A and B are shown apart, each in its own frame.
Chain A
Amino acid sequence: MKRYSAFSLLRNALSHNRNWRPAWRSPAPKKSYDAIVVGGGGHGLATAYYLAKEHGISNVAVLEKGWIGGGNTGRNTTIVRSNYLWTEAALLYEKSMKLWEGLSQDLNYNVMFSQRGVYNLAHSLQDMRDIERRVNANRLNGIDAEVVSASELGKAIPYLNVSPDARYPILGASLQRRGGVARHDAVAWGFARAADALGVDIIEQCEVTGIEVKNGKAVGVLTTRGSIASDRIGVVVAGHASVLAKMAGLRLPIESHPLQAFVSEPIKPVLDTVVMSGAVHGYISQSDKGELVVGAGIDSYNGYGQRGSFPVIEHAMQAIIELFPIFSRVRMLRLWGGIVDVAPDACPILSKTPVEGLYFNCGWGTGGFKATPGSGWVFAHTMARDEAHELNAPFSLERFTTGALVDEHGAAAVAH
């Protein structure tokens, strides 16, 4: 891998940028691999990268049915935080946060991780209790967190409506200063480039159409580009997890729903942090390009259509204007939807399955982007060692049978 730097930019500029190498190759699939990762989104590419980097397994294929980063990786609102309530979830997301903090340098690709802080607003006394509880738990878990009063909020976020006359007055907020946003496409590309450099084959336009199981063991996959053998198959396909599970005869506690988001036209910097509100169901940040990036609530029905219903957008808009009345005249430029795979406890599944050598990474619901590096890191461990890392052990499929759910609905009441 030729390193990226200001110097390489200069040097290549002198040769009219003709000597840049592809960020990743486009190899034809081999007959077999030591491990296959199904799904070339951020999580899948991260899994492949850490398989190669941390576990020395570099004879790996990432099979992507479309183009890498084209699913939820390229469709989310890019929020990164780790201030989850339950220790199990908090430690997993905090692992991810730590990886984020050095990711651009580790990948030698600027993923523009920007720690501009994440506020979760409280609009009721119960919201405040929940925030106190979560902030206290975060601190004991070694995660930065603080409670911010309404008047401090007014100073920190200039145009936030902290008036006590608001329909749902803001009573305070939690703040994670290390939280923020990143450039979503760059995360996929950066992992792809780094994984490729370690020998991973990233194979686009290669749809998995079947999972071959013999005597309870996974032996390979059927794809639109032929069958590929491997006894270690990790499925990381977000919204389509149930479809892939069915290929292996499995049923998952997952439902796929549309989740929508929209951006405004670019405006001059006006919001330099991330603001989320569960009570009024809206969250917003401003991208480096100047667009206000707004996430809407989840659509109620099952859907694989990458589009949702317009009233959901209307509600999100009303919420944003409730929080920031000055944005009423800013104009919406584009809206889109992704497919989120929601588990009953709003927590992911990072698990072995009843099929030996078949692993599933799914159920991230509305908040998977933030977990991208950590998810790949623990899932690579799980695939390499055939056992969960202690960080993802609580997120096995067994929890649905034993009842040991990690219920993060409080933290995930608003999509993020």
Chain B
Amino acid sequence: MLLIECPWCGPRAETEFSYGGEAGITRPRDPDALSDAEWADYLFCRSNPRGNHRELWNHAHGCRRWFGVERDTVTYRISRSFELYPAAVPETDAALQSGPDNSNGGD
């Protein structure tokens, strides 16, 4: 059972959380401008890396906040948890904030 650090509540057992999949998948601003293939990529395709993965977790049985986690999908080691939209935006999170419309992140 993973030990996940909620940015607001601290480290808690995995059973308090629910998983939200890959982080950084931004909903296109103008879906109608997308081809079917581009829309399908946003809808279904995921980077699914073997290794470092930026992913979403929700502290469902706690503060109910969503946040980001960087976790290795092989060792399951978590290198950090981060707020998705911190008040002061660190450089490294800029991509999450203002990724292009059809950015699907990537690893």
A–B contact (CB under 8 angstroms): yes
Query: Which A residues lie at the B interface, using CB under 8 A?
Result: 240, 242-243, 251-256, 300-305, 307, 309-311, 344, 400-403
Which among A304, A310, A311 has the highest number of chain B CB atoms within 10 Å? Answer: A304
Contacts of B50 in A (CB 8 A): 240, 242-243, 256, 304
Alpha-carbon distance between A105 and B18 when the two chains are bound, in angstroms = 47
Contact B45 A251 (CB under 8 A): yes
Q: Tell whether, in the assembled complex, residue B55 and residue A302 are in contact, meaning their CB atoms are under 8 Å apart.
A: yes
Partner among A252, A307, A402 whose Cβ is within 8 Å of the Cβ of B48: A252
Given contacts A251-B104, A401-B40, 16 further A-B contacts (CB under 8 A): A242-B49, A243-B50, A251-B47, A253-B44, A255-B46, A256-B48, A301-B55, A302-B22, A302-B73, A303-B73, A303-B74, A310-B1, A311-B14, A344-B43, A400-B45, A401-B37
Q: Is the CB of B1 within 8 A of A309?
A: yes
Residue pair A254, B48 in contact (C-beta under 8 Å): yes
Instruction: Name the one of B19, B44, B53 contacting A400, with C-beta atoms under 8 angstroms.
Output: B44
Q: Give the shortest distance, in Å, between A223 (CB) and chain B (any CB).
A: 17
Quick one: closest A residue to B69, CB to CB?
Answer: A301
Q: How far is the CA of A403 from the CA of B15 in the complex (A)?
A: 34
Q: Which residues of A contact B92 (CB under 8 A)?
A: none
Partner of A305, one of B15, B75, B104: B75
Q: Which residues of B contact A309 (CB under 8 A)?
A: 1-2, 14
B15 and A256 within 8 A (CB): no
Contact code string B53-74 (vs A, CB < 8 Å = 1, else 0): 1010000000000000001011
Q: At the interface, yes or no: B100 with Cβ under 8 Å from chain A?
A: no
Bound state CA distance, A56 and B40, in angstroms?
37
> Does B21 touch A at the CB level, under 8 Å?
yes
Complex interface: chain A residues within 8 A of B101 (CB): none
29 contacts between A and B (CB under 8 A): A240-B50, A242-B47, A242-B49, A242-B50, A243-B49, A243-B50, A251-B41, A251-B46, A251-B104, A253-B40, A253-B44, A253-B46, A254-B46, A255-B46, A256-B48, A256-B50, A300-B18, A301-B19, A302-B22, A303-B74, A305-B76, A309-B1, A310-B1, A344-B43, A400-B44, A401-B36, A401-B40, A402-B36, A403-B36
A312 CB to closest chain B CB, in angstroms?
A: 9
How far, in Å, is B35 (CB) from chain A's closest CB? 9
We find that the number of chain B residues with CB closer than 8 angstroms to chain A is 28
A255 contacts B48, CB within 8 Å? yes
> Do the beta carbons of B74 and A305 come within 8 Å of each other?
yes
Closest A-chain residue to B4, C-beta based? A301
B36 contacts across to A, CB distance below 8 A: 401-403
| Closest beta carbon of chain B to A253's beta carbon, Å | 4
Across the interface, name the chain B residue whose C-beta is closest to A402.
B36
CB within 8 Å: A-B pair count: 68
- The 0/1 profile, CB within 8 Å of A marked 1, for residues 1-41 of chain B is 11000000000001100110110000000000000110011
- Contact at A304–B73, with CB atoms within 8 Å? yes
Least distance between B80 CB and chain A CB atoms (Å) = 16
Bound-state CA distance A251–B106 (Å) is 10
Residues of A with C-beta under 8 A to B22 = 302
Bound-complex Cα distance A301 to B40 (A): 22
A341 (CB) vs chain B CBs: closest residue: B48
Give the contacting residue for B73; candidates A252, A254, A256, A311; CB below 8 A.
Answer: A256
Which residues on B sit within 8 Å (CB–CB) of A401? 36-37, 40
The docked-state distance in angstroms from the alpha carbon of A245 to that of B41 is 14
A317 to B67: give the CA distance in the assembly, Å.
Answer: 31
CB-CB under 8 A from A240, the residues of chain B are 50
Within 8 A of A (CB), among B67-99: 71, 73-76
Which residues of the other chain, B, contact A305 by a CB distance below 8 angstroms? 73-76
Neighbouring B residues of A403 by C-beta, 8 Å: 36
A305–B50 Cα gap in the complex (Å)? Answer: 9
Assess the A255–B76 pair: CB atoms within 8 A.
no
Please name the residue on chain A nearest to B46 by beta carbon: A255
| Shortest beta-carbon distance from A124 to chain B in Å | 23
Q: Tell me which residues across on chain A come within 8 A of B71, comparing CB atoms.
A: 301
Give A344 to B40 CA distance when docked, in angstroms: 11
B47 neighbours in A (Cβ, 8 Å): 242, 251
CB–CB B48/A302 < 8 A: yes
| Whole-angstrom CA separation of A205 from B40 in the bound complex | 36
How many Å from the CB of B49 to the closest CB on chain A?
Answer: 7
Q: How far is the CA of A302 from the CA of B53 in the complex (A)?
A: 9
Interface-centre pick from B14, B44, B47 (highest chain A CB count, 10 A) = B44
Known: A305-B75, A305-B76. A311 touches B15 (CB 8 A): yes
Specify which chain A residues have a CB less than 8 angstroms from the CB of B45 in the assembled complex. 251-253, 400
Most buried by B among A240, A251, A302, A400: A302
Given A242-B48, A304-B73, the answer on whether A400 and B40 have CB atoms closer than 8 Å is yes
- Give Cα A301 to B55, complex, Å: 9
